[in-house]
């Protein structure tokens, strides 16, 4: 791997200090860097790419609200005093766009013209949805990222809507230089990736993020594995010299970039095509997941440290097949607590917990969790069940590389601890 040289001072984000080590590694909170003449990479939880043109600057993404002031400070102190002429959103996720207002305020405080904000047309509806479901998104992010309950990133966010929206892409000119904006679907339906042909620099947004692609997030809306693979192949065909990702470090070198983009495309296409093939054989989701031949994740950019290949397969199935799992009892089901209560009443809690502990001791934490789930729901006052539930998920969290899966496991631990700390009925 060849990263760009580090010339600027590091962005010493205070918020980085509170991140778990594995999350900080994913977000690569490192120093800013000069990638090529007039191209600057400002590392943040979501990176900001800077193109310094004749008399003006193009920013690709803005970082999250809390980090934007430091991004601006680093840009002005170490790289350029030219006015920011335009901001391009690669997509509407909170970590990529909510710093826009700080950048606009800074520009206006200097007496510069307000930067124009450019994005795909579906960014605005995304912002509308985030505003409508702010509390729900706060709740989901507390689970996904193991954030403290008091944090409300979506409720407190400022959404700066685009001034210019494109449909299938467009060319823009900044300081006399042409930039190509391309639309694709992948992690989101509103993606824009940016190609600077004059400098052979590619800004991928989250289409490339130094981990197994975030194409299956279990907490969020539909993702698009096949379209994602198509976009990666289109990028590779351009033969970039430098790749500036949405997360993680810069990648430089034509051959290395081509390998990263095409191997990621192959990874996604393998999962997509196998799910389609198995669906055409009449298989339901759980059998699809069992029968897939999972592609290798040994490349440094395919490690499942954020999403998980199983989640990607689930999302492909969801795109084409709906939510029915093949069990007729699931079409109009009883509530899971009623099912659990009936089972525990029939067998008693003790034998189920005995079997769960045996499975745990044999190393089958996955199946043990399912058994304990029946008891904690069917007999909510059973402390043994809650203690075993807590311990099982603590063990699974400790051994899980996927941040998303680990977030769910830790949420189960916190729920158990809260239940055990509360007075009994």
| pLDDT 10s digits, 397-411 | 999 999 999 999 999
Categorise residue 265: left if φ over 0, alpha if ψ from -120 to 50, beta otherwise. Answer: alpha
Q: What is the pTM of this model?
A: 0.91
| pLDDT tens readout for residues 77-105 | 999 999 999 999 999 999 999 999 999 99
Q: Considering the chain, what percentage of its residues have pLDDT values greater than 70?
A: 93
| pLDDT tens readout for residues 297-343 | 999 999 999 999 999 999 999 999 989 999 999 999 999 999 999 99
CB atoms within 10 A of CB 28: 18
**Residue 27 pLDDT level (bands cut at 50, 70, 90):** low
DSSP E strand boundaries for 61-104: 84-88
| pLDDT tens readout for residues 370-406 | 999 999 999 999 999 999 999 999 999 999 999 999 9
Question: How, if at all, do strands 177-184 and 191-196 pair?
Answer: antiparallel
Angle, helices 365-378/383-398, rounded to nearest 10 degrees? 150
Domains and CATH numbers, the chain: 14-268 (3.60.15.30), 334-421 (1.25.40.880)
Is residue 366 scored above 80 in pLDDT? Answer: yes
pLDDT score at 13:
30
Q: In degrees to the nearest 10, what's the CA dihedral of 410, 413, 415, 420?
A: -160
How far is CA 65 from its chain centroid? 17
pLDDT score at 28:
56
CA distances to 20, 75, 211, 384 from 405, rounded to whole Å, are 15, 36, 14, 24
Question: How, if at all, do strands 56-60 and 48-53 pair?
Answer: antiparallel
């Amino acid at each position: 791997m060849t990263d760009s040289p580090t010339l600027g001072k590091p962005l010493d984000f205070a918020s980085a200090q509170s991140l778990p080590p594995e999350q900080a590694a994913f977000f690569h909170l490192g120093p800013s860097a000069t990638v090529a003449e007039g191209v600057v990479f400002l590392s943040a939880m979501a990176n900001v790419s800077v193109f310094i043109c004749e008399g003006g600057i193009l920013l690709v993404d803005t970082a999250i609200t809390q980090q934007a002031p430091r991004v601006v400070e680093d840009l002005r102190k170490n790289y350029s005093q030219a006015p920011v002429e335009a901001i391009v959103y690669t997509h509407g996720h909170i970590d990529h766009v909510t710093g826009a207002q700080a950048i606009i305020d800074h520009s206006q405080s200097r007496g510069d013209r307000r930067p124009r904000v450019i994005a795909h047309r579906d960014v605005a509806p995304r912002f509308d949805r985030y505003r409508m479901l702010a509390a729900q998104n706060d709740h989901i992010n507390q689970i996904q990222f193991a954030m403290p309950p008091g944090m409300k990133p979506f409720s407190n966010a400022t959404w700066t809507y685009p001034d210019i929206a494109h449909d299938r892409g467009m060319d823009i000119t900044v300081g006399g230089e042409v930039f190509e904006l391309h639309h694709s679907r992948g992690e989101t339906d509103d993606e824009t990736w940016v190609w600077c042909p004059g400098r052979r620099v590619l800004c991928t947004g989250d289409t490339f993020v130094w981990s197994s692609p975030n194409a299956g997030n279990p907490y969020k809306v539909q993702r698009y594995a096949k379209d994602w693979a198509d976009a990666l192949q289109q990028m590779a065909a351009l033969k970039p010299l430098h790749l500036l990702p949405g997360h993680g470090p810069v990648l430089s070198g034509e051959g290395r970039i081509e390998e990263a983009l095409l191997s990621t495309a192959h990874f996604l296409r393998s999962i997509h095509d196998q799910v389609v093939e198995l669906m055409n054989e009449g298989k339901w989701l759980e059998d699809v997941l069992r029968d897939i031949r999972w592609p290798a994740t040994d490349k440094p950019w395919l490690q499942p440290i954020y999403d998980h290949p199983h989640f990607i397969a689930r999302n492909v199935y969801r795109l084409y097949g709906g939510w029915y799992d093949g069990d007729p009892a699931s079409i109009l089901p009883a509530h899971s607590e009623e099912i659990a209560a009936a089972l525990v009443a029939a067998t008693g809690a003790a034998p189920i917990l005995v079997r769960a502990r045996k499975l745990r001791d044999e190393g089958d934490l996955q199946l043990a969790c399912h058994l304990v789930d029946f008891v904690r729901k069917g007999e909510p006052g059973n402390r043994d069940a809650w203690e075993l539930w807590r311990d099982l998920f603590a063990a699974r969290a400790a051994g899980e590389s996927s941040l998303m899966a680990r977030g769910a496991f830790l949420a189960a631990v916190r729920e158990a601890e809260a239940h055990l700390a509360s007075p009994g009925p």
